[in-house]
Amino acid sequence: MTRPRIGFLGVGWIGRHRMAAMLATGAIEATAVCDASPEMLTEAAALAPDAVVVPDLDAMLALGLDGVVIATPSALHADQSIRALEAGAAVFCQKPLGRDAAEAARVVVAAQTVDRLLMVDFSYRYTEGMRQIAELVRGGALGHVHAIDLTFHNAYGPDKPWFYDRALSGGGCVMDLGVHLIDLAMWTLDFPGDASNVNARLFAGGQRLAGDTVEDYATASFDLPGGVAVRLACSWRLHAGHEAVIAAQFHGTDGGAALRNVDGSFYDFVAERYTGTTSETLVGPPDDWGARAAADWARRIATDARFDPAAAKLVSVARTIDAIYAAG
């Protein structure tokens, strides 16, 4: 059986990491790579020596690929995804799918129209801890989940200038970090519907956000259908005593559960279940979760590259982020 032929658009660290995971499945072959950096192309060639180097997306699509993996700056995601889909290729895209809900919706419509698989790299869904927590929530083991607390503080912040240009990034720490946790909350609840009663406070350099500056600290609250109150806090370069503080806490009438990082790690997580004053560890590190979403897409495109209706839920996450920016 012929394996799907995949093009990798953007082969920086994330792009190469996802490429390696996809190749490790044995389900796909890397046919083409594209990046502005000769150094990154050299690194990619070590993973996929038979892949051809192409100068741009047009040249990549001219090869008649089965799929395209997109790991480029955020401003390019929607347009590149649509062009790939309209050329008949399935798409795996880094987050965010679009800088706003309108862009994200355009991509989803394009995928529906051509009946091609579309996935976004919401990798935290694939941690073993969140898999177990989602099972508890959806199975009713926690009772009625009425509150969710989400936290993501990154002590460093992005190292590429385009992250700090709103026209290129779509926003600051909410778009970069908050999007993962908002998706995680909605996904765990099986996407109950759009957020309402959205409130937010956005800051840059310790001052309320103004003009086209992107936020480096944000708090937000919103309600989800079914009587669920959600609180979010995220930041870049916060003095938090750790490299990262990451947590998703689910509070129910019959118990609670939380995913949280261990000792400031970006990668090591523990999942716990709470009943009253007692705590039970569900799973802890190690857990090689970082590229499971990419590997999942690779296996899926090899068996069924048709549109998955679950992709339409991506727009609900984008609408929530739009509402946070409008309220902040």
Look at residue 126 in the predicted model and tell me its pLDDT.
98
Q: 270-295: per-residue pLDDT in tens?
A: 999 999 999 999 999 999 999 999 99
128 Cβ contact partners less than 8 Å away, ≥ 6 residues apart:
271, 283, 287, 289
DSSP structural state of residue 28:
-
C-beta of residue 20 within 8 angstroms of C-beta of residue 83: no
5-120+291-308 folds as: Rossmann fold (3.40.50)
Look at residue 107 in the predicted model and tell me its pLDDT.
98
Q: What is the 3-state secondary structure (H, E, C) of the chain?
A: CCCCEEEEECCCHHHHHHHHHHHHCCCCEEEEEECCCHHHHHHHHHHCCCCEECCCHHHHHCCCCCEEEECCCHHHHHHHHHHHHHCCCEEEECCCCCCCHHHHHHHHHHHHHHCCCEEECCHHHHCHHHHHHHHHHHCCCCCCEEEEEEEEEECCCCCCHHHHCHHHHCCCHHHHHHHHHHHHHHHHCCCCCCCEEEEEEEEECCEECCCCCCCCEEEEEEEECCCEEEEEEEEECCCCCCCEEEEEEEEECCEEEEEEECCCCCCCEEEEEEECCEEEEEECCCCCCCCHHHHHHHHHHHHCCCCCHHHHHHHHHHHHHHHHHHHC
Angle at Cα 58 formed by Cα 56 and Cα 62, nearest 5°?
120
Q: What are phi and psi of 176, to 5 degrees?
A: -85, -45
Q: 80-133: per-residue pLDDT in tens?
A: 999 999 999 999 999 999 999 999 999 999 999 999 999 999 999 999 999 999
C-beta of residue 327 within 8 angstroms of C-beta of residue 198: yes
Over range 158-174, report the average pLDDT.
95
Look at residue 211 in the predicted model and tell me its pLDDT.
87
Q: What are phi and psi of 31, to 5 degrees?
A: -95, -35
Range(s) of the chain covered by CATH 3.30.360.10: 124-289
For 124-289, CATH gives: 3.30.360.10
In percent, how much of the chain has pLDDT > 90?
A: 99
DSSP structural state of residue 259:
E
DSSP for 309-328 reads GGGGGHHHHHHHHHHHHHH-
Q: 34-77: per-residue pLDDT in tens?
A: 999 999 999 999 999 999 999 999 999 999 999 999 999 999 99
Q: 210-253: per-residue pLDDT in tens?
A: 988 999 999 999 999 999 999 999 999 999 999 999 999 999 99
- State the average pLDDT for the chain: 97
Q: Can you give the pTM of this predicted structure? A: 0.96
Confidence at 177, pLDDT banded by 50, 70, 90: very high
Range(s) of the chain covered by CATH 3.40.50.720: 5-120+291-308
Residue 155 has pLDDT above 90, yes or no: yes
